[in-house]
Amino acid sequence: MIASTPVGSWTWETKRPRPDGDLAKKCVEDTLAVLQVLKTTGLAVHPISADVTVRVGGGGSDAHVRSLSIDPTRADAEQHLLSVLHPVMTTDVRVITIDLSLPGVWLENPVRFRAEKMFTLSVDVWASSASTVVLRTYSDVWMTHDLCGNRQSALQRQNAPLLAAALLQISQLLGAETDPGEPTWYGTPTVSGFEDIPDEDPEVLDSWGMFEVPSRRKRLHSSLPSGVLLYGDEPEGAIQYVEVGEGATVLGYVWASESGASAGYEPRSAAGDAAFMAGRFWLMRLSDLKKRRFSALQALGELERLAGDVSSGSVIPGSRRRMDTLELLQQASGKS
């Protein structure tokens, strides 16, 4: 399953200056070297989006922030990043940061699945030449149990060794010990992956329902105007839903209760941030229909006829399905 917040993280800290004192080059070299480890271990794929930030002065104000796409397989990837950094480098640079959002793959024998935000990688290089590298994962395939609390031994056996190999190689590359991050809602990181979770009733271990679902609902609603009118979001009984997508990519699911007045949108986690961007469009359309006194199921039917746009996607023809509960759809939306 893929969460909208990190499942776990790992940090490496170094104090290795470059002989020429080129902070920009150090930041770029460290970033691309760690990225290459993730690619050679089969965890990260491209295209990759990057945010480059240069902070200057004692107050740490942003002198330059730019978003771009990079392809680390290209020979000019380093020069591409340096061409962004070097023109804004000044004598009072305090810290350079490169943040990457990394698509990745996992194995479910014999199939490879892709998530648009499997990892994030942040590299900070300070004026002192000290650097901090932080890798975060949004996936549970390295863990003994999925985020709903179900044991997944076969899945872990296929994927956990890949993460362990990557963490070890990054440590060797940087010459720094791996520092596991603090425990999260979902698990406890270790130097080689995650602690095993003891077998318990899945309902006790259901961090998906307890934490992820409320967290992503909050994220979706935070993008809406204050006071927006919405349908209820806790239906009793069965629901019907449709897929919304752009091209071959499913971004999420618009649903409505078969009885009562509940309707909403569930992002497909593997689609990454685009799933949440689309959610605003569909929730606003539902709000419009709520104001016009459409029932939940009537609203779903209206949306099937509505044209979307490039960022929101459109309802996929013939995709209407039924599920016994909203919880089942929420769980399915977190998987491939």
Lowest mean pLDDT across 16-20, 158-162, 186-190, 193-197? 16-20
Please state whether the peptide bond connecting residue 110 to the residue before it is cis, i.e. omega within 30 degrees of 0: yes
Quick: pLDDT tens for 217-237: 999 999 999 989 999 999 999
The pLDDT tens digits for 64-73 are: 788 888 877 7
Check: CB of residue 284 under 8 Å from CB of residue 198.
Answer: no
How far, in Å, CA of 233 to CA of 264, rounded?
6
Strands (E), 216-301: 239-246, 249-257, 263-267
Distance CA 33, CA 39 (A): 10
Which residues neighbour 328 within 8 Å (Cβ) at sequence distance 6 or greater?
none
Tell me the whole-structure pTM to 2 decimals: 0.92
Biggest alpha carbon–alpha carbon distance for the chain? 69
pLDDT of 279 reads 95
Q: Tell me what the pLDDT averaged over the chain comes to.
A: 92
Q: What is the pLDDT of residue 201?
A: 67
Band (242; pLDDT cuts 50, 70, 90):
very high
Tell whether the torsion through CA atoms of 172, 173, 175 and 181 is positive or negative. Answer: negative
Mean pLDDT of 30-52: 92
CB 44 within 8 A of CB 102: yes
What DSSP state is assigned to residue 15? Answer: -
* Displacement of CA 321 from its chain's centroid (Å): 26
DSSP string covering 141-202, please?
A: TTSSB-TTS-B-HHHHHHHHHHHHHHHHHHHHHHT---EE----SS--EETTEEPPPPP--T
> Could you tell me the CA-to-CA distances from 315 to 265, 285, 336 in Å, in that order?
12, 13, 19
Residues in Cβ contact with 40 at an 8 Å cutoff, skipping those fewer than 6 apart: none
Contact at 8 Å (CB) between 24 and 89?
yes
- The percent of residues in the chain predicted with pLDDT above 70, rounded, is 97
Q: How confident is the model at residue 62 (pLDDT cuts 50, 70, 90)?
A: low
* 61-70/321-323 β-pairing: unpaired
Q: Which of 18-22, 35-39, 170-174, 329-333 is predicted with the least confidence, judged by mean pLDDT?
A: 18-22
Residue 207 has pLDDT above 70, yes or no: yes
Q: Which two tokens stand for residue 323?
A: 């599920």
Q: Which residue has the tokens 């016994």?
A: 324
Q: Which long-range contacts (CB under 8 A, 24 or more apart) does 81-85 make?
A: 81/28, 81/31, 81/32, 81/50, 81/52, 82/24, 82/25, 82/28, 84/52, 85/24, 85/27, 85/28, 85/52, 85/54
Higher pLDDT, 227 or 266: 266
